[in-house]
Structure formats: C-alpha cells, structure tokens
Structure 1
Amino acid sequence: MPRSGYAASATTRRRRPRPVVRTVTSVAVVSAVVVGGSYAAGLGPFARGATDPEPAALAQARAFLADWAAGRLPNAAGRTTRPATAQEVLRNFTAGLDIRRPTLTAAAAPTQAEDDTVDVPFTATMPIAGLGTWTYRSKLPLRQQPDGSWKVDWTLSIVHPRLSGTKKFHLEREDTGATPDVTDRKGASLSAAEFPSLGPVLHQLDAGTGGGARGAIQLVDRATGKVERTEATFAKKPDQPAHRPVRTTLDATWQAAAEKALAAGAHGRNASLVALRVDNGEILAMANSPSSGFNRAVSGTYAPGSTWKIVTSSALLLKGAVAPSDVVDCPQYLTVGKEFHNVETSEHRNATFLKDFTESCNTAFISLRGKLGDRELGDVAGTYFGVGQKWHVGIASYDGSVPAPRDETEQAASMIGQGRIQANPLIMASVTATAVSGTFHQPSITHGNRNTTTTTPLPRKVVDQLRTMLRTTVTDGTARVLSGLPGDIGAKTGTAEVSDDEPNNGWLAAHRGNVAVACVVEQGVTGGGSAGPVIRDLLRAVPTDPS
C-alpha cells in the first residue's frame, strides 16, 4: 500500500508540526565558506578580496550549518531572518521525507548575488530511510543586518531550489510485500496496526536491514496535489538482502498501556510520552497523539517548563548554593527585564527551597539566578545529564539544547525551563532517571548502539536530596494526581509558556521503581491537570517494573 509524507509547509505554527510529518533526523556535520565584507563608500562585500572573507559572515554561516547538521534546529533557525518559519521548514523537510543523516557539502567559492547577499552553493546528499539516496544542489545566502551582524536570509529555496510557497515535496512509498519484522524486548511482534505510535519509526528501524520498498520523491502543487515532476526514484536492487528481524528494547505491555493512556488523556491535543528503564536507559514505550503523525516523543523541540527545575536544582545543590531547608521567598511576581509570575499568581512567603520545588515556584527559582554563572546550567545539563550531547538512540532523535543566556531576562527564564532551552519527553524521562539514580545512561530503542557521550555521576547526597524533593511533590505538592498510586513515586510538574495567545503546554516527569516517564500535552494549561492523568493511567495499568 502506498505511503507518503509531506515536507515544508507554507505556513507555520510555533512548535506544532503538521500531522502528516513523520520523523525528524539529525544532519551530518558540514562546513561552509562564506565571503562577506564591510559596506563603505560604494564598496561591495568583496571589496576585501575573495580570499579574505568577512569573519562575521563566515562565522555565522558555519554556525548555522553546524546547528542544522547537529539537529539543533531552534539554534539554526535563530541564525536566520525568519526563525519560526525556518525551524518549521527544516524540521518538516527531513521528517516528511524520512531523511536520515544527510551530508551537506559546501562549494569552495562563495559568490556575490545581485541583491547584495553572499551565496554559498552546497551539495545535499539525502539518504531516504529504507530506499536510497537523493542528491541535489542548493545555496545558502547571507545578508548583513543594520546592526552589522550577519544572518542567513531565509527562503524556502535554501532547502531545495524547487521548494516554494506553491510547490512542495511528497514521498511515495510502494511496499514490495516485505515489511520489517520488529519485536519487543521479549520477542513479541510489534506492528503499526496494533501499536499506531510505532508507525513513524518502523522505516527508521528497517533502514539498515536491507529494505524492501520502492519509492519516489515527487514535486507537487500545494493547492491541487498534482505531481509536477519526479525528483528521484528508488528501487530495491536484485542482490539486496531480505529484511532482517529488528529486536527493540520496547515492552509490548508498556507500549499498549502508553498508547491507551495518551489516546484517552490527550483529548484531541498534540501530546507525547516516553517511558524508559532507570538502570540502563532502554526505552520501554513511546506514544504520540496523533499516533500517525510527527514523532514528538523523541524528535520534538519544546520548552520543558518547570520539569527543568530538576536540572536547575541539581546545579544549585551541586555547588552548595542552596539547601532544601533554606528559606527562599516565593512572591507572586518578580521583574527581571519582564514580569515573571507563578501559576495562578500564587505565592508562598517564607517558603523553604523544598517548598518552592514542590509548589513549582517560578519567582523563587529566578531569585537564585545570581548563584549560577551564564554557562553553568548548560554545563551541568551536559556534564551530568548528557543533554546536548549526541545520542545514538537507534532512531532519529533531538537530544536537547541549553544555550548560554543572551541577557539577564533570558537567564531568569532558563532557571524555569523557558527561554531558549529545548527538550522533549525522551530527554525529560532521561533527566528524571539520571536524577534518581545518579548516573546518565544513553537512551536506546535498539541494542548495540554506539555511545559517544561522556558524563559524570551525581554525588549521592544530591541524588538523595532530589529523590526527597520529587517524592514530596507527589505527597504534598503539584503532582498530587499520582499520590493515590502504590509505590515510592516521585514527580515534577511543568507549565511551559508558548506564546501570549496560546494556552501553556503541560508537562509531568515521574519515576517509580526502575521506570522513568515524561509526558507533554500541547495547550494542556497545567502539567498536573493534563499530563498528570496520562501518567497516572499509565502507571495504574502497569503496576510492576519490566523484567
């Protein structure tokens, strides 16, 4: 039966991928050379000579390509003239066409365009999961801004010369009768028919097993869907081996429960969750709503909101900047460039830091921002939790970003998981597992994955403090929705602002026994009220740890 995906929608909504998009993949590391220069007295950007490029333009080009290559799409998009559009297009293009680990090779010589941009031609080699490789050429334009900085002058044709507001790409698959034999950790068969959320990842799991499909990438009219031309065709070679079975770390019981809990609790909203083992990072379940769309669980890019206070608390506790029993006042409002407030403008005067954590007090955490250096939160996230390092999960994943704040307001926002911090349920489930065990384990959905991460264990004292704080959040704090369940459950809720005119996203990260789980519900308003019931139903349905 034909299968298809779409890429690069003409319109965007912030962090809301279109349902037809499947998975996002990281892009291989590339380099680029861009020549620019200073504009003065009629001199163009090449007045300094083609062999002496403008350093700022060169640096921005390399940074953009490096971020795009590493899958840091929010960072890459932030280097363009249209960040929101760029992030959506870059994500949808690779996701909708099932592109895995592309290679982008810059031409040796940049050129000056008539519109005063500096163009860097490049060759794109795009491996399509389970099919073959699509190769084409495009170019990267840079334009100097009024303040003297350089940015990528965003246009759809950056991604592909024929991509436009009226034309998009469509991936058509034709199965040849052979489908990937994917099993769970115990050998039970897994299929998209029985577990719909696994549909977006089956071809990724199958990509290295020999493939059995034919397909084509077509250029289509956005309005009519009419095929304008075929860009590339793929067919299985006669000597290609048949599919080999793929054994995953998933647990059919947990997967079924996760899909059921999310389907019932999402109420039609975009949502996702991940459950994994604390002791080794093996993924037990991943679920998405809608189940047939973008794999938000491992490739989504969200502000994690107050679930990130697990990492912020770790940074503060590691350096002895605060103790759980210390009094850290929690007022209704705190102004740091802009006014920050707590959920429902609550306040807790003379609260301890433990109380601030369990009640998720934003103003208290922001008041401690001076205790951490500009890069300290990101350093702790990477050094102890592996966030921002390259993860080899077994499928395409987004592994987080914690950039240094650009000003005091952004530093305040980063203390509560806002600003430019980006994560997803896979990352926050891993963060929770690391916090309660003390050791980061690279998450995985298949066995034998390469591990290039380097982390340091958390001190036992900090682990004990975090476990107490998480447990108290369930018994006496904002995660009371889990308090009726058996077991020593700990959790952290989160509410993440999206924009002034959209409801907040709701988060909850939790652990019980040897399982950590995290869930996000877009426009869920609060974590306890939206993600909380989903995780409660999941843990209630599977009361024991996986074997």
Structure 2
Amino acid sequence: MGNRRRVAERRKTSPAVLGGMIAVVVGGAGLGVYALYDGGAAAEDGKHSASSTHKPVKTGPLSATEVRTTAERFLTAWQHGEVTQAAAATDKSSAAASLLTGYTRDAHLKDVTVAVGARTGAKVPFRVKCTVSYKGMSKPLAYDSTLTVVRRTSDGKPLVDWHASVVHPDLRDGDKLVTGESGTPPVKALDRDGAEVTAARFPSLGTVLDGLREKFGKVAGGKAGVELRVVRGKASTKAKLSDKTLLELSKGTPGTVKTTLDPAFQAAAEKQVSKRARASVVVMRPSTGEILAVANTDHGFNTAFQGSLAPGSTMKIVTSTMLFEKDLVHPDESHPCPKTYKLAGWTFHNDDDSEIKKGTFKLAFGASCNNAFINFAPKLSNSDLTKEAQQVYGLGMNNWAIGVPTFDGSVPVQSGAQMGASLIGQGGVRMNPLNMASVSSTVETGVFHQPYLVSPTVDKRTVAKASRTMSSKTRAELKEVMQYTATYGTAAKAMAGLGPDYGAKTGSAEVDGQKKPNGWFTAYRGDLAAAGVVQAGGHGGDTAGPIVAALLKMGG
C-alpha cells in the first residue's frame, strides 16, 4: 500500500475477533506507545496518582504523536475484540460500542486486518481487509476508511471523532451492516428501449437502482439472495436514503422493471455533468411526465432527485404565475425594479446593484431583477406563494410517487422579509432539478404532470395531482416572459439557436459561507423540459445553462 505502514502482531497465536472488531496489525512500537501514553494502562483505568489529579487541561492543536497514538489505541483495541476499550477511545462510546459489536454479530465479518496510511493533520486513513462469512458461504471484502482525532474540551484528551463512517464509508450515523438473506430481491432495470441499465453503464444511476430495488424488488418477480448490505437507520430513512448492497455472497434471481430512461439522453446527461464540479440535471417529457435522464457529478447522493437547495431566481416562474393570476401585473405593463428595496427591516439588492427605472415586467423577468418581484410583497398574504406552488405546480406536498425516493420541494408559509425573499427563491424555499424541470414542464403544457421514472401501471400507485390548472391566459403570459428570457434575457447565450418554441429562466442562489452562488437553469423546448444546478458554480446562465441547453438540442 505505498505509503501505508503495517505493524505486525507479535503474538504467536492470532487474536480472537470478538464483537465485530477490526484486527489491526500493530507492531511492538505501536503497542509500546499505547502503554506509555497518558500515564499508561493504569491511567486508562482511572488510577491516577495524587500528583496527576490536578494536571492542567491540555488545549490547542493536536500533535502528530497524539493523533497517531489515539488512532492506534482505537484500532488495536478493535483488533483484539476489546469493544469497550475501542469505544472508550472515541468521543461517543455508546454508539461506537453498538456498531463495533454488530460488525461481527450482524455483518458476520471476520479475519479483519487494517493497514494504516499516512496521517494528514488529524485525519488517519486506513484500508480494511476482511472476510464475509455466512452459512458456509464466504467472500473477501476490502475497503478504505478514515478516522479523525479531536481533543475533548472537558479534559483535553485526544479521542476518535466517532461517526459510523469510520467503520465503513457508506454508513451514516444510525445505519448498520447486516449479512443475511435479503428481504428484497434484486431487480434488473431496463431503459425505455429494453436494454439493461447498470451503474457501470451510467454511474449516476447507482442510487436510482438502489431505490428501484427497494420499491419494486418484491413486486417484480425476483428471488432474494444473500448479501452484506447497509441497513439504513432513522436519520437516513428520513433523508430518503435506500439500503445499499456492498457484497453478494449468492445472487438472487432479479425481477425486471422497465423505466422511462432514454439511453441517448442519459449518456449525454452523464457527459454534461462531468464537465462541472457538483452539477446535477434532469430531463423530462412535459406531455407525460416521463423522466428521460438524471445525472449528478457526485454519485453518492442523488441531488437531482433528493437535493434541497434554494432555487434562486428560477422560482420567479412560480411567483410570476401568482402575480398574473392575481392581476397584479402582466408582461407588457410598466413596472420598475429599484436598485434597493426595504422590507421588514431588510434591504434587498439586485445582482450587481442594477436597476430598471423605466421598463416592463417582462424586461425585469428577462433581466432577473429581484426587486421587481420583492416590491409586490405588501400586496400578498404570507401563504399566497405556498398555495400557488402546491395548487398549480404540485410542489411541497410530499406526495410525488415517481418510483424512487424524491424530495418534492418546499415553499413554507413565511412572513416579513423572509416572505419577500421567498418570491425570488431564497428564504425557506427549497428545490432540486427534478422540481424545477417539472415547473418548466407545467408552463409548457399548462398542466402539472407528476414526473415519473417507472410507469404507475407497474404497481398501481397513485401519482400526485394538482388541485387546479392555470388559465390559458396565464400560461400564455408565462411562455411570453420565458421566451423573452431565452431570446433576449439572461438565458439567451445558452439557448441560442433553440427557438422559437422555447422558454427559460436562470437563477443564482446565495449560500452562507459559499464564495460563489449555486447556478440554476430551467427551460423547455417543444416536448422537452430540463433543469440543472451547479453548486458553487456562479451565475446559472453560464454554468447550468450550457448543460441544460445541450440536452434540449437533442430534441431535434
């Protein structure tokens, strides 16, 4: 392992692996440091001498020795099956003991060895090798993990910063590892043309395939196999994370699930997001709600379906729908966009402190001028935007049933300055590319069609419906301002050459502690709609815009 150092166990007999312990191979030097550290084993048992009881609490950065010896103490105890001692070397001993015990008892992992890598600051990487053994079946398993050492405030003692990911990087706190007969049979996912969809073929779809198995495994006609898997705890379940298979000991017989994914669009979406860090995109068919592609730069979490991010100015589509329906303004009416606007003690600014003294609402929409929207706040009730999002766009109801877990947007009722911020997609408003692709789809058709990845006929599930439909006049006005934005406004550069049956909206969402805003872009072209976000990318027209436009160009 290159820069990794292995320490060899000096015992003639192998240590027992108890309670799910990792067997760390630690040399005499490492054990010697452990014995001498912090007063030795006696001090660990609390038998301090009188002269040490008033020892001042140590503060400040951890030394290299403190990091190394703390990591070795934890890993050595783990090796020897000393759950209590290993847990005591962490800052959350109860949680650590529970997961370490289950490592052997539930996950059936044995013959574990660890190779420790080069320390970087307080972080210590290590590689785990072990065997999964269950009812006469066994397979080797190897993976990399990392621990971090922190100093306990109360007494200055260095301890392992405990998280479940120390045991395995795919674990979140509250999750556990289990080996056994899977309660859910595997599934073979097919694209709309009947070809198999795999994570090897489309890396972004790993989490999607996990979700498909969880949802359709028992109804697709398959038979469960034996596997080591991550079983999600309460927090992960709340975050809509699916169980994950880490290793198959015996293959089950998969059932077949056909999806709406289009292989050409999926391949193109994967290619587009790979050009940017932290990019996500969704492509769908407005007339039906079929999802044609979903892709993320980062494959560990499906931001495109489950992200919860402020959508910035793309939310102005929903806000404009409300304003048009309430007859508060219309596209060609004169409406100013002042440089600043004060609301409930806040002073709102436009991007680059721009202003429009004499212009139409359509011009303000196309230029994405914030205060042309926020200055309507005094004429609105706190719940108006929430009702518009729910009733016309189907957002924020937590009832979408697309075939895999999703976050369905959130537009909470807010007051004062926060309500004003919501009108421009800040405040408490949260969305993801799936939600915003659906918004453009609803504008294009005038009717909310809940997006879906697997036809509802497969499992007879009920898809979400909007409680009302926008008027034909409102739809025409929305298409007018979105077309103007795509032709002359902030989306014009990305959408060049795609008209005339098109519309778009850009967005930039500020995030606390982030130098650049998240860049958003949502658009439709004929019977295609797409939305994307590039986190910390900057302006949406320059970042997410080219990704979305490239996919819309495939519509002919």
TM range (shorter): 0.5 to 0.7
Distance 1:484 1:201, change over 3 A: same
Deviations 1:470-522 (A, max 9, x none): 11001110001234233422100001111154321000000011011000110
For the 8 Å contact 2:530–2:552, the answer to whether it is kept is no
- State whether structure 2 residue 343 is matched by structure 1 residue 330: no
Q: Compute the RMSD of aligned alpha carbons.
A: 3.0
- State whether structure 2 residue 392 is matched by structure 1 residue 384: yes
Separation in structure 2 between the aligned mates of residue 218 and residue 190 of structure 1, nearest angstrom:
24
Distance 1:533 1:175, change over 3 A: farther
Which residue of structure 1 lines up, in the alignment, with residue 269 of structure 2?
A: 258
Which residue of structure 2 lines up, in the alignment, with residue 524 of structure 1?
A: 537
Which residue of structure 2 lines up, in the alignment, with residue 185 of structure 1?
A: 192
**Pairwise mapping of residues 131-150 of structure 1 onto structure 2 (< 5 A)?**
none
For the 8 Å contact 1:362–1:416, the answer to whether it is kept is yes
Separation in structure 1 between the aligned mates of residue 352 and residue 336 of structure 2, nearest angstrom:
17
**Pairwise mapping of residues 319-398 of structure 1 onto structure 2 (< 5 A)?**
319-336=326-343, 337-389=345-397, 390-398=399-407
Distance 1:421 1:194, change over 3 A: same
For the 8 Å contact 2:514–2:536, the answer to whether it is kept is no
For the 8 Å contact 2:528–2:555, the answer to whether it is kept is no
> Shift of the alpha carbon at 1:348?
1.5
For the 8 Å contact 1:385–1:455, the answer to whether it is kept is no
Deviations 1:229-255 (A, max 9, x none): xxx9999999x9831111001111111
> Shift of the alpha carbon at 1:451?
1.8
Which residue of structure 2 lines up, in the alignment, with residue 104 of structure 1?
A: none
Which residue of structure 2 lines up, in the alignment, with residue 9 of structure 1?
A: none
Which residue of structure 2 lines up, in the alignment, with residue 48 of structure 1?
A: none
Separation in structure 2 between the aligned mates of residue 393 and residue 342 of structure 1, nearest angstrom:
37
Which residue of structure 1 lines up, in the alignment, with residue 320 of structure 2?
A: 313
> Shift of the alpha carbon at 1:168?
6.4
> Shift of the alpha carbon at 1:294?
0.4
Letter in 2 for 1:404: V
> Shift of the alpha carbon at 1:217?
4.7
Distance 1:483 1:243, change over 3 A: closer
Deviations 1:139-163 (A, max 9, x none): xxxxxxxxxxxxxxxxx99xxxxxx
Distance 1:167 1:202, change over 3 A: closer
Which residue of structure 2 lines up, in the alignment, with residue 402 of structure 1?
A: 411
For the 8 Å contact 1:212–1:243, the answer to whether it is kept is no
**Pairwise mapping of residues 39-58 of structure 1 onto structure 2 (< 5 A)?**
none
Distance 1:476 1:235, change over 3 A: closer
Deviations 1:316-365 (A, max 9, x none): 00111111122111122222222211112211111211011000010111
**Pairwise mapping of residues 158-177 of structure 1 onto structure 2 (< 5 A)?**
169=175, 171=177
- State whether structure 2 residue 259 is matched by structure 1 residue 248: yes
- State whether structure 2 residue 484 is matched by structure 1 residue 472: yes
For the 8 Å contact 2:391–2:468, the answer to whether it is kept is yes
Letter in 1 for 2:471: P
> Shift of the alpha carbon at 1:259?
0.8
1:255 match: secondary structure: helix
Letter in 1 for 2:257: V
Distance 1:235 1:529, change over 3 A: closer
Letter in 2 for 1:261: Q
1:468 match: secondary structure: helix
Separation in structure 2 between the aligned mates of residue 311 and residue 213 of structure 1, nearest angstrom:
48
1:494 match: secondary structure: strand
> Shift of the alpha carbon at 1:450?
2.0
For the 8 Å contact 1:248–1:445, the answer to whether it is kept is yes
TM-score (norm 2): 0.61
> Shift of the alpha carbon at 1:314?
0.2
Match of 2:507 among 494, 499, 508: 494
Separation in structure 2 between the aligned mates of residue 235 and residue 295 of structure 1, nearest angstrom:
21
Separation in structure 2 between the aligned mates of residue 213 and residue 279 of structure 1, nearest angstrom:
42
Which residue of structure 2 lines up, in the alignment, with residue 533 of structure 1?
A: 546
For the 8 Å contact 1:399–1:427, the answer to whether it is kept is yes
For structure 2, the residue ranges without an aligned partner over 5 or more in a row are 1-161, 164-171, 233-243
Separation in structure 2 between the aligned mates of residue 167 and residue 299 of structure 1, nearest angstrom:
19
Identical pairs, percent: 40
For the 8 Å contact 2:487–2:496, the answer to whether it is kept is no
Letter in 1 for 2:228: G
Separation in structure 2 between the aligned mates of residue 301 and residue 536 of structure 1, nearest angstrom:
23
1:181 match: secondary structure: strand
Which residue of structure 2 lines up, in the alignment, with residue 205 of structure 1?
A: 212
Which residue of structure 1 lines up, in the alignment, with residue 441 of structure 2?
A: 433
Q: Based on CA coordinates, which of the two structures has the bigger radius of gyration?
A: 2
Structure with more relative contact order (C-alpha pairs < 8 Å, separation 6 or more): 1
For structure 1, the residue ranges without an aligned partner over 5 or more in a row are 1-155, 158-165, 220-231
For the 8 Å contact 1:316–1:372, the answer to whether it is kept is no
- State whether structure 2 residue 430 is matched by structure 1 residue 419: no
2:435 match: secondary structure: helix
- State whether structure 2 residue 466 is matched by structure 1 residue 460: no
Which residue of structure 2 lines up, in the alignment, with residue 194 of structure 1?
A: 201
Letter in 2 for 1:413: A
For the 8 Å contact 1:316–1:371, the answer to whether it is kept is no
For the 8 Å contact 2:226–2:249, the answer to whether it is kept is no
> Shift of the alpha carbon at 1:284?
0.5
Separation in structure 2 between the aligned mates of residue 218 and residue 326 of structure 1, nearest angstrom:
57
For the 8 Å contact 1:187–1:247, the answer to whether it is kept is yes
> Shift of the alpha carbon at 1:271?
1.8
- State whether structure 2 residue 459 is matched by structure 1 residue 447: no
Letter in 2 for 1:263: S
Letter in 2 for 1:525: G
Separation in structure 2 between the aligned mates of residue 181 and residue 189 of structure 1, nearest angstrom:
7
Separation in structure 2 between the aligned mates of residue 500 and residue 273 of structure 1, nearest angstrom:
24
Distance 1:181 1:530, change over 3 A: same
> Shift of the alpha carbon at 1:174?
9.2
Deviations 1:369-393 (A, max 9, x none): 1232110110011000000121111
For the 8 Å contact 1:281–1:443, the answer to whether it is kept is yes
Letter in 2 for 1:403: P
For the 8 Å contact 2:498–2:525, the answer to whether it is kept is no
Separation in structure 1 between the aligned mates of residue 312 and residue 202 of structure 2, nearest angstrom:
29
Separation in structure 2 between the aligned mates of residue 515 and residue 434 of structure 1, nearest angstrom:
11
Letter in 2 for 1:502: K
Letter in 1 for 2:510: E
> Shift of the alpha carbon at 1:525?
1.4
Distance 1:218 1:282, change over 3 A: closer
Match of 1:280 among 263, 282, 288: 288
Separation in structure 1 between the aligned mates of residue 420 and residue 513 of structure 2, nearest angstrom:
18
Which residue of structure 2 lines up, in the alignment, with residue 132 of structure 1?
A: none
